[in-house]
Amino acid sequence: MERERLEFDVVFVGAGPAGLAGAIRLKQLAAERGREIEVCVIDKAPALGAHSLSGAVVDPRALAELLPDYRERGCPIEEEGLRDAVFYLTAAKALRLPWVPPFLHNEGAFVGSLSKLCAWLGAIAEEAGVNVFPGFAGVEALFDDAGGRVLGVRTGDKGVDKQGRRKGNFEPGVDLLAKVTVFAEGPRGSLLREAAKRLGLFDGRMPQVFETAVKEVIELPEASPFLTAPEAVIHTFGFPLGLHTKGGGFLYRMAERRVALGLVVGLDYADPMLEPYREFLRFKRHPLVAGLIAGGRVLQQGAKTLPVGGWYSMPRLCADGALVIGDSACTLNARRLKGVHTAMKSGMLAAETIAEALAAGDTGASALEGYRRRLEESWLGEELRQARNFSQALSRPPASRVVHLGAQMLSRGRGLVDPMPLHEDCSTLRPGVFREPAPVADLDGTLYLDKLTGVYLSGTRHEEDQPCHLHIPHPELCTTRCWQEYRSPCTRFCPGQVYEIETAEGGRPRLKLNPSNCLHCKTCEIKDPLRNILWNCPEGGGGPNWTIL
Amino acid sequence: MNIVVLVKQVPDTESLVQIAADGVSIRKDDVKWIMNPYDELAVEEALRIREAKGGGVTVVSCGGPKAQETLRTALAMGADKAVHIQDPAAEGADALGTARILAAALKAMPFDLILCGQRGVDEDNVQVGPAVAERLGIPHLSFVIKVELLDGRVRGHRVVEGGTVVVEAPLPALLTTQRGLNDPRYASLPGIMKAKKKPLEVKSLADLGVDPATVGAAGRKVVVRALKLPPARQAVRMIGGETPEAVAAELVRVLHEEAKLI
Ligand SMILES: Cc1cc2nc3c(=O)[nH]c(=O)nc-3n(C[C@H](O)[C@H](O)[C@H](O)COP(=O)(O)OP(=O)(O)OC[C@H]3O[C@@H](n4cnc5c(N)ncnc54)[C@H](O)[C@@H]3O)c2cc1C
């Protein structure tokens, strides 16, 4: 099929903070140098910000560098002048830590909604002349004949039915050609997965490891004590995950009587029966949390993963004609629980490198290598180096964890073992221990929701008649080995009830997929112990419709 | 053939719809805005007619600054030009006020056929299309699921309860669309690029010669007293059973005894 080709200087795949900051920075540099740079940003989300979910306590450092007048330009800030509290939770009690570790101090930061921030940044990018296209998924990286140089990306076809046949409104994808293609897909990019294999970007690096979070924005009643509490930012650890599974909870106060609430679960957990969504409900039912949100109503819900491998997991950042930025490049600082400012900074440093390379007329890997150097020499490199063994330490048993973290704090991140090893999340489930956990009872549909009501409140919608975007190379394993050894953990780790095991005729178990429920968190691809799930982009414009997460 | 399509930007009814503090409007900031789905059908039909018969497609919308997004979407789908009636005095118009404004705009442009959605999914008035036709003194065919153009006439297939009615009118005429008319095309990426360069004219009420006192919030004949959200969805109940007969029997029992529907 002949596809239309559109040429740009630079194409960003992903309109998160990384891609948008990079695109805006490029336009600024073009204006400074009096040079035209044609920039395009695509995102699979139906609208800008609709697939953006974060906490978010935002460190404004990168934002202030990019847009010194960000306040005057109407940056959507929910709450500022933040004070923090950290609690250790037992099943019935909450013990407040007498001090907050320095890396969790948030005085200069603000609470924001990433959906709103991305919509705002996207409008600024458009004003600056960037071509921003929400509703278009990048489905294939384009290579030259030798296969070593990235030439651009292909967007997905639309109007294809379940069987792969063209419907009446078939619209072929287009080839977006660029001198530089920037992968800014966030955690576990599906394009990057394939391109990286070809380019060896992850070779010789530590594995990519993740945490997954369920998050809600809840509207509180006027009398809620949290609205007037001195601490607008609360972090918890301990219950419900215990001390052997890493992760923790957060509550961030927002404007308009709202609170952002979430539970983050390290995906290196061992118990195949663990269900992150259930833990999330248990977290909400803890007396401390339940008291703070009493009388509230959930406005929106969603789920997303965070790449926490950090410094040693970072892929090779450049190839001929391509760069990797943001969460796709593991720029998230797991120690500070922050990835927005680091993603933005990486995008801005990439932009500076690209502008230079374009001016010199060479966008090969060695010309783009300046990006890694810039990153290493900037505050971003310094921040990430200090956190380089943090996630690893959290995966250790409680006693040695404390020793490692203490040593890291005293040695600017080096600690006792440097580098500490990481293990792939798909390898950590222990087969054969099946304690069926009791379901969380009394869901009221207002403040405590079952998974499907949560999916409904995420606004998730996909064209129903399209090929399934979840590729399961060996479906027979689902009901044999995976069931026998792990009791089909996909039915639990997926927060959107995409995976169900039903009993088919003759009492045989059968996998049933509900791809339309997919929240695009990609936990399935990451955690599946048999590596039998590949997540690809569904038809562009499908998925969650978040506006305040 | 000059075809004009009337489009409106509406909140996606599945997004976060909340009643504003005044109790008579919805909060505008957290909702997602889309082209009224029935208007998408109208744009698609107009493009198909143009593809078959030649001519041009103009899209017209009356709305705030954001409504331009919807006009751009229509242009990206393939419409040729757009007219945006944007005036603070037009805000808060009821269906008849909106029709008055749109009719005034239409009087100033050539048209053989006007297409619009049967209703906006925001206020569900089902009035604007027919009222525009009345103001222009032209016939209108509503709820069409099939359109045929004959020599100087248009034939519309309308859905009625239990069947379809086939009606005809001389051109110029106005049609309102019903689901099933067509499958709207996607706005393609090159289409979106091209749409940025297509003409989009912005007009005020003064440009159209409309007296602001007769439209907008000032000219409302219908006043909204209160808005209420529909009752929360009930949980779905799956009816099980060993055999199809048992499932059917249980379903009948539930419908009869519990839901009291039959
Ligand atoms: C629950 C949670 C809480 C967090 N809390 C905080 C916090 O308090 N403070 C903080 O600073 N950070 C926080 N983070 C981290 C922060 O949100 C991320 O680090 C940051 O969003 C990364 O930005 P990004 O642009 O790299 O990726 P993303 O924000 O993930 O954006 C990637 C974009 O690319 C799009 N995309 C992906 N693949 C494709 C494709 N193939 N084609 C087209 N589009 C594609 C996606 O739709 C998405 O819009 C949190 C994250 C989570 C999940």
> In this complex, do A548 and B16 lie within 8 Å of one another by their Cβ atoms?
yes
pLDDT tens sequence across B48-82:
999 999 999 999 999 999 999 999 999 999 999 99
Instruction: Delimit the domains of chain B by residue range.
Output: 2-219, 230-262
Nearest to B16 among A6, A167, A547 (CB): A547
Kindly report whether the peptide bond that precedes residue A334 is cis, defined as omega within 30 degrees of 0.
no
Alpha-carbon distance B80 to B57, whole Å? 5
User: Does domain A427-535 match CATH 3.30.70.20?
Assistant: yes
> In this complex, do A171 and B232 lie within 8 Å of one another by their Cβ atoms?
no
Alpha-carbon distance A446 to A297, whole Å? 5
Which residue's alpha carbon is at the smallest distance from atom 5 of ligand 1?
Answer: A55
Nearest to A174 among B12, B31, B189 (CB): B189
Q: Is the pLDDT of residue B235 over 70?
A: no
Blockwise average pLDDT, block size 10, chain A, 549 residues: 94 98 98 96 97 97 98 97 95 94 90 98 98 98 95 98 96 98 98 96 96 98 95 96 94 97 97 97 97 97 97 97 98 96 98 98 97 98 95 90 90 92 95 85 93 95 96 94 94 97 80 96 98 98 97
- In the block, tokens 């993740």 appear at A210
Distance of CA B185 to the CA centre of its chain: 16
A118: CB partners within 8 A, 6+ apart: A15, A16, A17, A20, A48, A49, A52
Alpha-carbon distance A28 to A37, whole Å? 10
| Helix intervals (H) in A361-396 | 365-368, 370-377, 379-386, 390-394
Alpha-carbon separation of residue A221 from A282, A299, A385 (angstroms): 21, 13, 43
Tokens standing for residue A286: 């803890």
Q: How would you classify the pairing of strands A84-89 and A94-96? A: antiparallel
> What are the backbone dihedrals phi and psi of residue A59, each rounded to the nearest 5 degrees, phi first?
-80, 120
Bridge partners for B164 per DSSP: B159
Interface predicted TM-score of the whole assembly (ipTM), two decimals: 0.90
The answer to whether the CB of A233 is under 6 A from ligand 1 is no
Q: For position A104, what pLDDT does the model report? A: 87
The answer to whether the CB of A335 is under 6 A from ligand 1 is no
Alpha-carbon separation of residue A166 from A55, A157, A176, A388, B189 (angstroms): 40, 9, 22, 48, 18
Under 8 Å CB pairs connecting chains A and B tally to 54
Quick one: closest CA in A to B16, which residue?
Answer: A299
Q: Locate the ligand 1 atom nearest the alpha carbon of residue A55 and give its number.
A: 5
What's the pTM? 0.95
Instruction: Delimit the domains of chain A by residue range.
Output: 5-67+116-205+315-386, 78-110+209-306, 390-419, 427-535
SS (H, E, C) B189-219: HHHHHHHCCCCEEEECHHHHCCCHHHCCCCC
Identify all chain B residues contacting A135, using CB atoms and an 8 Å cutoff.
187
Bridge partners for A329 per DSSP: none
Q: Is the pLDDT of residue B238 over 80?
A: no
Kindly report whether the peptide bond that precedes residue A467 is cis, defined as omega within 30 degrees of 0.
no
- In the block, tokens 């992850």 appear at A202
Tokens standing for residue B251: 């379903």
| Helix intervals (H) in chain B | 37-53, 67-77, 95-107, 128-136, 189-195, 205-208, 244-253
Q: For position B233, what pLDDT does the model report? A: 66
Of A257, A263, A256, nearest to A241 by C-alpha is A263
Q: First and final CA of chain A: distance in angstroms?
A: 40
Q: Is the pLDDT of residue B240 over 80?
A: no
Q: How far is the CA of A177 from the centre of ligand 1 (A)?
A: 24
> In this complex, do B193 and A131 lie within 8 Å of one another by their Cβ atoms?
yes
Topology of domain B2-219, CATH: Rossmann fold (3.40.50)
Q: For position B79, what pLDDT does the model report? A: 98
Nearest to B193 among A6, A47, A167 (CB): A6
Question: Would you place residue B234 in the very low, low, confident or very high pLDDT band (cuts 50, 70, 90)?
Answer: low
The answer to whether the CB of A338 is under 6 A from ligand 1 is yes
Alpha-carbon distance A546 to A302, whole Å? 8
User: For A5-67+116-205+315-386, which CATH superfamily applies?
Assistant: FAD/NAD(P)-binding domain (3.50.50.60)
Q: For position A398, what pLDDT does the model report? A: 87
Question: What is the CATH code of the structural domain delimited by A78-110+209-306?
Answer: 3.30.9.90
Q: For position A510, what pLDDT does the model report? A: 86
Spell out where A425-544 has E strands. 470-471, 499-503, 509-513, 534-535
